[in-house]
Amino acid sequence: MLEPSPIFAHGGDLNRAIADYTKAIEQSPANALAWRARGLAFRAKGDNAKAADDAAEAARLKPDMADAHLDLGLSLQGAGDASQALAEFDKAIELNPRDAHLLKARGDGYLALGDAERAIADFSSAIDLDAKMITAYIDRGAAYLGKSDWDLAIADFSRAIALDANQYAAYLDRGQAFGAKREREQAIADFTHAIRMRPEAPAAYRQRAFWRQASGDSQGAIDDYNHVIKLDPRDAEAFRGRGYAYLSPHENDAAIADLTAAIALNPNDALAYRFRGSAYAAKRDLRRADLDDAAALRLNPKVR
């Protein structure tokens, strides 16, 4: 029996896996496992359309194969068809209602559609079946985060970290929850931990910069924004953030330079105009300050 393990069985060579499974399909067109295996290889390559076609054929050939419906749902979700993906997850769960991975997948589908309540219900059912499913805790925490249920989110992210301390997403998301509660030291600590785990990822630097600035540590915020801009020189929000941070030590020229860069990258950034206006005002350049304030108000009347 052909096993659907295209990545590991072929040493990570997805093109060779696809070629081999294509030969297997040509020799035995009714081999559902071959269709499923090739679909997995296509999905691993990021070709969700072809992956969905192969998973659909596997499900047609073997309608009671829950994993084929799961694969089809994941491929449809990757292709942007979240509603149809849910229908396939439903079919998979109907075939195997006590499979925690199927419930977790459907929960992710609900979360993608913004249905946090149903997502939480599926994640909770998955956890009931597998209390050590780290990703279910992380995703349920993300659902709670979206509902502004900070304490429940923190509890789930903490459970994930207790099960495996190397969970970057859990530290990053728990830091956001701590920040939302204005527990700044805990937020900064979590973002620092995330940075140690992935120093090449800008998200944790950006988040830590925000809360360092909010805590009065302008230089720390500037240092973090330096990292973000080094990683992505076209990050308009990072230029805006660093420009704002320069305002606190009254480095107005540096602030103006950064905020001008932010505006060049995103001309619709009302806050960048507002902050640059403040820098001009601090330099007593009231004409430019008034022009920037007017531009900020045109873009967003709520910016003051």
**Buried b or exposed e, range 34-51, using 16+ CB within 10 angstroms:** bbbbbbbbbbeeebbebb
For 54, 64, 119, 265, 270, the CA distances from 147, given in Å and listed in that order, are 37, 36, 12, 32, 27
- Please tell me the distance from the alpha carbon of residue 124 to that of residue 121, in angstroms, as a whole number: 5
Query: Could you write out the DSSP letters of every residue in 180-198?
Result: HTT-HHHHHHHHHHHHHH-
Fold (CATH) for 1-97: 1.25.40
CA–centroid distance for 174 within its chain:
14
Contact 72, 55 (CB under 8 A): yes
Q: Give residue 11's pLDDT.
A: 65
Phi and psi at 251, nearest 5°, equal -90, 75
* pLDDT tens digits, 110-142: 999 999 999 999 999 999 999 999 999 999 999
Contact 59, 65 (CB under 8 A): yes
Residue spans per domain, the chain: 1-97
- Please tell me the distance from the alpha carbon of residue 268 to that of residue 214, in angstroms, as a whole number: 24
Q: Give residue 303's pLDDT.
A: 86
- Please tell me the distance from the alpha carbon of residue 90 to that of residue 74, in angstroms, as a whole number: 12
Q: Give residue 1's pLDDT.
A: 37
pLDDT along the chain (304 residues), means of 10: 49 88 96 96 96 97 97 96 95 97 97 96 98 98 98 98 97 98 97 97 97 97 98 97 96 98 98 98 97 97 86
